[in-house]
């Protein structure tokens, strides 16, 4: 059975044919990106000089992001650097976005998730849920609870980390079924692996910290349009979308592989055995849960004020000013370094060395993408691009633009990183909406949520790559079920964004 870190390593494991394709793709990108930069700088574009130069830089970055010629975070940092070198913007302006408050929501959320992994809180939650008498030996209930726990954990943890944590648990159940010769074991293994991957990606849509595109969309809407989306407001939109999509996945996989499968008591005994190995709840686990609960309470309190009709009170306004999401995230993270595990030995819940393991690349990727989006608006490039795209559209409206950018983001997420897709498409959605004279919130939200898709291919998302490495998921099956989920997701996202967007934001 693979361990957590072996599952993470599977993200970078490809077949020889895939390796050859990736090698050629990166090589093409390394030459095409700079060539496109030079060509655009030399071309006589009818836009101001700063916008002209930025267009070349952005074109090169998009090529690098799609081809992964450079690490995604390096490309994100290269953009602001070139903006300064080419005199597009002064250095303080170009790098200001790397200290945006949303950056600290990333950092705080990542540190809390790392603490959950270090102390095994995530595994305890998973094994406890799967060992409940309600689950029993029902294949359908095992799949439903397994996918549901994956989804719920992914609301607060990295999609990749959640999949890597749940993957060995699912794999051990599938391997036991295969050894016992259970009828339908192979098909059940397929749906368990896919519900792990798909459930993690879907769960990330539920909260702002569930996946990087969410915070990218929130940050860009705030900086580029002045629209402030609170943690609670996002959940009012994200949770219904998440639940409807998961319901479709559960029904789809029930008929595809869970119905009629007989699970013997040995499989559930494995889960109870693993739960027993964890022992009683530790001091560290309690501390993590306390820090996590405090953080979530701080995040959703403004929404509680709003539901109570007290959001305009002096206290609610003072709370909102003193406790934005970034500060709440950092309070939760800092608590982990204060709550003791062993006071005599001065051991606390998390060490700094453990905290350093978070994904700093996502932090830089977000900062660079936000910087380039803001520079595009400040130089006039976004306005020019928005007017150019609008002129091609027959009748731009909130509905048509939301559909256009949701679909574009979904397609783009199949070809490149979800985070890179969000960085590329969200500023364009905002610019086009503004040029068309329609509210940019719905198109931007559609693009944000669409960028979190990517279910068709192993290379679309790290969760897909992890479960594909199990050997239980033929690529044709992943494409078949992934396309169906992409199509359903498109209509669910567009429907909820257009229905709830005007009411919530």
The rounded percent of the chain whose pLDDT value lies above 90 is: 25
Lowest mean pLDDT among 248-262, 392-406, 485-499: 248-262
pLDDT band at 260 (very low <50, low <70, confident <90, very high): low
pLDDT of residue 2: 44
Tell me the Cα Rg of the chain: 23
Phi and psi at residue 340, to the nearest 5°: -80, 145
Distance CA 472, CA 230 (A): 40
Dihedral over Cα of 351, 353, 356, 358: its sign: negative
Lowest mean pLDDT among 1-5, 8-12, 202-206, 375-379: 1-5
Q: Where is 347: in which H helix or E strand?
A: strand 347-348
Average pLDDT of span 432-455: 90
Average pLDDT of span 422-442: 88
pLDDT of residue 129: 80
Task: Answer whether 261's CB lies under 8 Å from 188's CB.
Answer: yes
Q: What ranges in 181-313 are assigned the alpha helix state H?
A: 185-203, 212-225, 231-253, 265-278, 283-307
Orientation angle between helical segments 418-436 and 441-450, nearest 10 degrees: 160
Task: Answer whether 485's CB lies under 8 Å from 249's CB.
Answer: yes
Higher pLDDT, 481 or 132: 481
pLDDT of residue 8: 47
Higher pLDDT, 15 or 294: 294
pLDDT at 228 over 90: no
Distance CA 379, CA 390 (A): 19
pLDDT of residue 215: 87
Task: Answer whether 143's CB lies under 8 Å from 192's CB.
Answer: yes
Contacts of 261 (CB under 8 A, 6+ apart): 139, 177, 182, 183, 184, 185, 187, 188
Chain segment 27-41, per-residue pLDDT in tens: 888 999 999 999 988
Distance CA 290, CA 448 (A): 31
Q: 166-170, 288-292, 354-358, 473-477 — which one is most confidently predicted on average?
A: 288-292
Lowest mean pLDDT among 10-24, 52-66, 268-282: 10-24
How far out from the chain centre does Cα 182 lie?
Answer: 36
pLDDT of residue 487: 93
The model carries a pTM of 0.80
pLDDT at 406 over 90: yes
Chain segment 343-393, per-residue pLDDT in tens: 888 899 999 998 888 878 878 888 888 888 888 888 888 888 788 888 787
Lowest mean pLDDT among 90-99, 126-135, 472-481: 126-135
Strand partners, 340: 348
Chain segment 448-494, per-residue pLDDT in tens: 999 988 888 776 777 887 888 777 888 888 888 989 999 999 999 99
Task: Answer whether 306's CB lies under 8 Å from 228's CB.
Answer: no
How far out from the chain centre does Cα 337 lie?
Answer: 26
Q: Identify which of 262, 246, 230, 205 has the alpha carbon closest to the alpha carbon of residue 446.
A: 205
pLDDT band at 15 (very low <50, low <70, confident <90, very high): low
Dihedral over Cα of 358, 359, 360, 364: its sign: negative
pLDDT band at 17 (very low <50, low <70, confident <90, very high): low
Distance CA 310, CA 316 (A): 7
Task: Answer whether 370's CB lies under 8 Å from 223's CB.
Answer: yes
pLDDT band at 181 (very low <50, low <70, confident <90, very high): low
pLDDT of residue 239: 95
pLDDT at 182 over 80: no
pLDDT at 4 over 50: no
pLDDT of residue 158: 79
Q: Identify which of 376, 415, 420, 68 has the alpha carbon closest to the alpha carbon of residue 212.
A: 420
Lowest mean pLDDT among 2-11, 282-291, 313-322, 442-451: 2-11
How many CB atoms within 10 Å of residue 2? 17
Distance CA 351, CA 108 (A): 14
Average pLDDT, the chain: 84
Greatest alpha-carbon span in the chain? 72
Q: Identify which of 161, 159, 127 has the alpha carbon closest to the alpha carbon of residue 142.
A: 127
How many CB atoms within 10 Å of residue 298? 19
Q: How far apart are the first and last CA of the chain?
A: 46
The rounded percent of the chain whose pLDDT value lies above 70 is: 93
Distance CA 466, CA 120 (A): 20
pLDDT band at 264 (very low <50, low <70, confident <90, very high): low
pLDDT at 58 over 50: yes
Task: Answer whether 469's CB lies under 8 Å from 489's CB.
Answer: no
């Amino acid at each position: 059975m693979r361990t957590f870190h072996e599952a993470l390593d599977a993200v970078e494991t490809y077949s020889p044919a895939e390796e050859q394709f990736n090698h050629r793709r990166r090589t093409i990108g390394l030459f095409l990106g700079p060539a496109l930069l030079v060509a655009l700088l030399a071309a006589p574009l009818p836009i101001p000089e700063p916008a002209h130069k930025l267009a070349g830089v952005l074109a090169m970055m998009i090529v690098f992001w799609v081809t992964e010629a450079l690490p995604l975070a390096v490309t994100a940092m290269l953009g602001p650097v070139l903006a300064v070198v080419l005199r597009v913007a002064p250095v303080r302006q170009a790098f200001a976005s790397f200290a945006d408050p949303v950056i600290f929501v990333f950092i705080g959320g990542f540190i809390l998730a790392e603490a959950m992994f270090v102390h095994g809180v995530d595994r305890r939650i998973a094994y406890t849920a799967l060992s409940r008498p309600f689950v029993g030996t029902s294949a359908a209930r095992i799949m439903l609870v397994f996918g549901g726990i994956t989804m719920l954990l992914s609301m607060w943890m990295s999609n990749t980390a959640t999949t890597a944590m749940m993957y060995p648990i699912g794999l051990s159940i599938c391997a036991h079924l295969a050894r016992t010769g259970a009828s339908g074991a192979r098909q059940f293994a397929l749906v368990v692996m896919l519900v792990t991957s798909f459930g993690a990606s879907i769960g990330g849509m539920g909260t702002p910290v569930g996946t990087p595109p969410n915070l990218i969309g929130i940050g860009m809407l705030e900086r580029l349009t002045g629209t402030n989306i609170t943690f609670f407001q996002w959940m009012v939109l994200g949770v219904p979308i998440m639940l409807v999509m998961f319901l479709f996945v559960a029904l789809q996989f029930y008929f595809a592989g869970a119905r009629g499968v007989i699970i013997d008591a040995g499989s559930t005994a494995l889960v109870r055995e693993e739960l027993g190995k964890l022992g009683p709840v530790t001091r560290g686990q309690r501390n993590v849960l306390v820090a996590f609960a405090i953080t979530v309470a701080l995040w959703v309190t403004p929404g509680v004020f709003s539901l109570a009709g007290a959001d305009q009170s002096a206290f609610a306004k003072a709370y909102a000013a003193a406790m934005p999401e970034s500060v709440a995230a950092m309070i939760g993270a800092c608590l982990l370094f204060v709550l003791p595990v062993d006071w005599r030995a001065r051991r606390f819940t998390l060490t700094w060395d453990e905290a350093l393991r978070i994904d700093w690349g996502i932090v830089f990727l977000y900062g660079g993408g936000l910087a380039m989006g803001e520079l595009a608006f400040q130089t006039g490039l976004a306005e020019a691009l928005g007017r150019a795209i609008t002129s091609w559209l027959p009748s731009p409206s909130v509905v048509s633009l939301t559909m256009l950018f949701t679909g574009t983001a979904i397609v783009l997420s199949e070809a490149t990183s979800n985070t890179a897709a969000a960085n590329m498409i969200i500023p364009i959605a905002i610019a086009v909406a503004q040029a068309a004279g329609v509210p940019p919130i719905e198109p931007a939200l559609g693009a944000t949520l669409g960028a979190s898709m990517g279910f068709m291919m192993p290379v679309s998302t790290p969760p897909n790559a992890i479960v594909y490495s199990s050997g239980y998921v033929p690529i044709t099956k992943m494409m078949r079920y992934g396309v169906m989920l992409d199509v359903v997701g498109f209509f669910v996202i567009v429907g909820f964004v257009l229905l709830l967007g005007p009411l919530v934001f």
